[in-house]
Amino acid sequence: MRPRRADARRNYDQLVAAASAAFARDGAGASLEEIARQAGVGSATLHRHFPSRQALLSAVFHDRVEALCRQAHQLAAGAEPGPALTIWLRAVGASVASTRGLASSLLPSADNACHRTVEEAGAELVTRAQSAGAVRPEVSITDLLTLVVAISMTVEHGPGDTGSEAERLLSLAIDGIRPLRQP
């Protein structure tokens, strides 16, 4: 792939900055037309750089997703498996709850690089936790990301302290993935 021209790079950067502000203000459903207007470009330029809303979300949240993936790899390399998964899920939940629009960037879809990247990073933690007997065998990383995203999207639109509500609901979900005790 050849390098972008200076004006194309500038347009890309302006679109990402405008989208970041719009998603923080209005969530992932922010108007793409308004994002293009705020970036000082036309709608065609936005779509040339970002063929889908998901591609734009991925660009805006790339750094946050990469940080979550680095954390997953670090935890997999050194922490006890059960607590490592719990720490990471709480980090994902906190990040998603505190960053409006991020939950939508983690929804599974064919063109969602953010979801695939986070899923790959978290899969190792789930496998290690299952091998250690800390997580039920039928639990998948897809299940866990679905729960975290659903919790975050639910509290994003609720009143009050969304971070503490997300943490409370995530704690309930984490309790549910532990192996069942035999009577």
Residues 98-108 have pLDDT tens digits of 888 888 888 87
Q: How many separate helices (H) and strands (E) can be counted in the chain?
A: 10, 0
Confidence (pLDDT) at 100: 86
Q: Where are the domains of the chain?
A: 6-52, 62-177
Cα-based distances in Å from 127 to 76, 90, 130, 148: 10, 17, 5, 18
Instruction: Give, in words, the CATH class of 6-52.
Output: mainly alpha
Produce one character per residue of 130-157: b if its CB has 16 or more CB atoms within 10 Å, e if not.
beeebbeeebbbeebbebbbebbbebbe
The structure's pTM equals: 0.83
Q: Which fold has domain 62-177?
A: Tetracycline Repressor; domain 2 (1.10.357)
162 pLDDT higher than 80: no
